[in-house]
Amino acid sequence: MVDPTSMRHDLRCEHCDYVDKRMFGEVLGNDQIECRNCGMMIDISSEKIQEEWRLLAEEVKHIKRY
């Protein structure tokens, strides 16, 4: 199995629209994360965002590494 916390997924900055690949471990359980482009804080506290990332992490967990 794959460790989902080390996998990455797109996260769009609500301030500058920059899309960055962020690790699941950086997003899950956190309220904010700094945009690497503009430096503004991205609000990731909503249940919708957290649930989306939890579901993606579950899917990734079942991918086999060869």
- Model confidence at 64: pLDDT above 70: no
Look at residue 19 in the predicted model and tell me its pLDDT. Answer: 97
Q: How does pLDDT run across 4-62, given as a tens digit for each residue?
A: 677 889 999 999 999 999 998 899 889 999 999 999 999 999 999 999 989 988 887 77
Neighbours of 11 (CB within 10 A): 21
Look at residue 2 in the predicted model and tell me its pLDDT. Answer: 60
Helices and strands (H and E) in the chain: how many? 2, 4
- Model confidence at 65: pLDDT above 90: no
Rounded Cα distance, 2 and 19, in Å: 24
